[in-house]
Structure 1
Amino acid sequence: MDALTRTLRTFHEKHEKLKTTVHTAWRYPLPKWGQYAMGCFYASIPLVGGWYIMQWAISKSVEEIGERGEKLRHKELQGYGNKTIIDGKEQTVGAGGRFGGVHLAMSDQKTQENNMAMLKAMFEREKKRRRKEQKNREADMEEEEEEKQ
């Protein structure tokens, strides 16, 4: 623990020294392209760091469970569709199941037909709305042309 504290303290001291150097000795205004370049550099630091962390997490998961789950004890799915096994009992999940929720893809024919009808109605409403917007835009353009003449 003492080594960690010492390492953090020396890192902090070195960082403060670097900050002082950057903010005093190198202090002169950058041109716009320099400001843009430094902004890109500073913005890329967390992005690159996050990418490396994600790669590390992926490699750890591959070590633990394998590329496709080969190292898992239970390789088979315990449930299928809207059925699952919880505490040894088969239960229905999704709409009407435990905690409610949405209808899953494994729904009955009536639910699929109902979903299809609602989706079709939504697309029709969207088509009407877009047609109306297009007519309004055309009318506005005609008014502008009349005002110009």
Structure 2
Amino acid sequence: MPRNFRIAVARELANRTAEQLADRMDRRWVRHRFQSDLLAGKGVGNPYAVLQVLVRPGECPDAGCEDGELVDTGADCRRCEERRANRRGRNGSVPSQRTGRSWWECRICRDPKPHEPEPEDRECQDCKREAAVVCEALAARWNAPTTEDVNDR
């Protein structure tokens, strides 16, 4: 394991339990689409950079915040909500610098979407496709014969 990764993990374990750090890594593994890229056969690029993304602390200055949610209560972090509201402007969207058109933020991946119409569920097409890929992979796994099935024949 790379030294800088061990240091990053040790630093985070000073502020979070091992379970909380594992939850962060699980959540980010899906949110950053590393899981769907692997399932789609794309790979993950630089594995060391992926490790850093999974472990590093969030951007919120509130030490109790974990990717927009307060660790102790599970409630949404007010500081993160305020930062998002400030980025969007008063009406919930931010004008694009090129076109003056507004963009929206996907509720799953939190990516800005300036070129897509805003769906009612606020989920982008990429996240919907990713969910479909994961569901197909799970269905294939669940429907695959097990060793017990093969041995019963």
TM-score normalised by L of structure 2 = 0.29
Larger Rg: 1
Greater RCO, CA 8 A, separation 6+: 2
